[in-house]
Structure 1
């Protein structure tokens, strides 16, 4: 009998703020592309984009972005001074694979992006135990909306974490603009990190300890990441506090060693807590052990799905499911996609 699956991490965050998506489309409007038709293909309307509390299902949002990439042939969706040709990010990603550590990958990514002198100048500063990745506007260059800035920062953050197969917990995010109408989306974009507005420069910072993390991806997993892009930028990620992070780390270690979910009592004992105390402390951080366990399973599955040599049956075992069917149901609940759909990426026909 397979282990049961849960719905503890399927929330409204399996969707994207309509206001955030709306800003991404501003370049499409200004360049007079047929936005109405693109939205229609995704079963959306212009009215859907302007409702303050509206959220767009993640599969519709990803399909819309992909269609926009195709019609514009621009990965920045006409938001920057110059188009970002399709394939730009793929070549960047492949160029980082042999850097071995996250610190070296970050330096190479910065050098690569600065070659194109397109609306942003990128820099890194390491001091006082933390690294700051900065994205500064180039004077006189077009940056159409704040979405362009959030997109660049969140892409860098999430992709670096994916490269080393870990969550990079940010100490702080600084933005050079006032809170946008989609400001509530920032807690999802940046894993709950504190966000400061109206700052001199756009940046995020994290502990230097991440710089020594090893690069865990290969060419096949990069190609998988590119096929499903920009899905990974919108997958819901809950970080929680320090205790949540410790429990997540121990849970991930247990899965790696025994391919079985750990017991709450074992985790509590390792952390020198009584089980009921651990439950209470996790609740104070806005989560629970079951949710953390589900998130770890999802992260492990996503990692292995990027490696085509690993079968769905093997991935089910890696995540503690004895029956692939139970794993498939759980994964679809977590992400909105079956494992096979996720592995193949959302394929959109040429318009």
Structure 2
């Protein structure tokens, strides 16, 4: 399946902590194979491996599992110790409670809370983390994915809420969290069915060590938790593109989802997106991943993505990212002294020393942004 890409807004956000501490972030960006010039264009996006490498670079530079974003340093190994403590719990609810209590022991640490609200279980973040809402969002995402990993099951989110006004890239959030979202809430958090709290843990210390060695890739990897219609449509499109440049039509997807085309169109509109926008986003993400991680000629990449002409692909890519395919590939291939490892999880773990101190609670930062509302009209051949 084509990997999702991440908006440059999240790249800027994750750099803020290091910048506040006087760290020169340009070498870190180059170490992650992210062209610094991309940060100047709101349309720009990066791949999940690029973003994960940036987390690694920031972790090395700050020696802080919160990457300088919190009011206090979270020393390397803190997250691993919390996970070790949680493994001994009888069920997921007890594990989350223990994790929240664990972080509450540290002055300036995150104020995590698990509560019941109506018919939902809610995991939330309180306190001054809202001053840097990116960290609060990271914590909600990482805990959601960690909980799913602990029980070996996908936990669908019913909703997510954020204690800040809608940002310019608000359209990213529904595809990122895979559920309806709202802004301006009292705190940042997410709701899910309470029966998941009774699920037993299925991981042991060996599995935890392996997950930590692979962090942040293990928890950055997009799991198909999404329950929105847009998420379902996007999954169908991404799977189809993996085997053919011809993507299924709106009618074909509607038939697969057992609804009429009109109903599917209406439900997508209710989620502030459309079939065409999702189709564009899937092709855009596959294009960026192909340029960064692959070596096929640009003309072959364009054909694989369903573009009838190279020029059409170049025009679409420039609108998606603000640059040309050739320039994007050249910038990301530029060698860097600090980038001495490849993008594979195992290589990245080895480069960082692996073990329990590799990766922290920010390792699952906003990573799967779908960007469904880019407003880019695909110039790919229609099938």
TM beyond 0.5: yes
Shift in alpha-carbon separation, 1:188–1:112, aligned structure 2, 3 A: farther
Shift in alpha-carbon separation, 1:181–1:145, aligned structure 2, 3 A: farther
Whether the aligned pair in 1 keeps the contact of 2:80 and 2:212 (CA below 8 Å) is yes
Match of 2:58 in 1: 68
1:210 aligned onto 2:200: no
Deviations 1:306-326 (A, max 9, x none): xxxxxxxxxxxxxxxxxxxxx
**The one of 23, 37, 51 aligned to 2:41:** 51
**The one of 133, 136, 143 aligned to 1:156:** 143
Whether the aligned pair in 2 keeps the contact of 1:76 and 1:148 (CA below 8 Å) is yes
Q: Distance in 2 between matches of 1:108 and 1:198?
A: 28
**The one of 2, 14, 17 aligned to 1:10:** 2
Shift in alpha-carbon separation, 1:160–1:44, aligned structure 2, 3 A: same
Q: Distance in 2 between matches of 1:76 and 1:144?
A: 14
Q: Distance in 2 between matches of 1:17 and 1:62?
A: 13
Q: What TM-score do the two structures reach when normalised by structure 2?
A: 0.60
**The one of 347, 350, 355 aligned to 1:347:** 350
Shift in alpha-carbon separation, 1:231–1:281, aligned structure 2, 3 A: farther
| RMSD (Å) for aligned C-alpha atoms | 2.9
Whether the aligned pair in 2 keeps the contact of 1:119 and 1:143 (CA below 8 Å) is no
Whether the aligned pair in 2 keeps the contact of 1:63 and 1:348 (CA below 8 Å) is no
Q: Distance in 1 between matches of 2:176 and 2:186?
A: 21
Q: Distance in 2 between matches of 1:277 and 1:46?
A: 44
Any idea what SS the aligned residue of 1:125 has?
Answer: strand
Whether the aligned pair in 2 keeps the contact of 1:18 and 1:56 (CA below 8 Å) is yes
Any idea what SS the aligned residue of 1:183 has?
Answer: coil
Q: Distance in 1 between matches of 2:228 and 2:139?
A: 25
Which structure ranks higher in relative contact order (CA pairs < 8 Å, sequence separation ≥ 6)? 2
Any idea what SS the aligned residue of 2:350 has?
Answer: coil
Any idea what SS the aligned residue of 2:139 has?
Answer: helix
Whether the aligned pair in 1 keeps the contact of 2:28 and 2:57 (CA below 8 Å) is yes
Match of 2:162 in 1: 175
1:233 CA displacement? 4.0
**The one of 225, 228, 246 aligned to 2:211:** 225
Match of 1:110 in 2: 100
**The one of 59, 81, 86 aligned to 2:71:** 81
1:144 CA displacement? 5.5
Deviations 1:130-179 (A, max 9, x none): 211221114xxx76632111111111111111111111111121111012
Shift in alpha-carbon separation, 1:124–1:144, aligned structure 2, 3 A: closer
1:197 CA displacement? 0.5
Whether the aligned pair in 2 keeps the contact of 1:224 and 1:343 (CA below 8 Å) is no
- Where does structure 1 lack aligned partners over 5 or more consecutive residues? 1-8, 249-275, 287-339
Match of 2:330 in 1: none
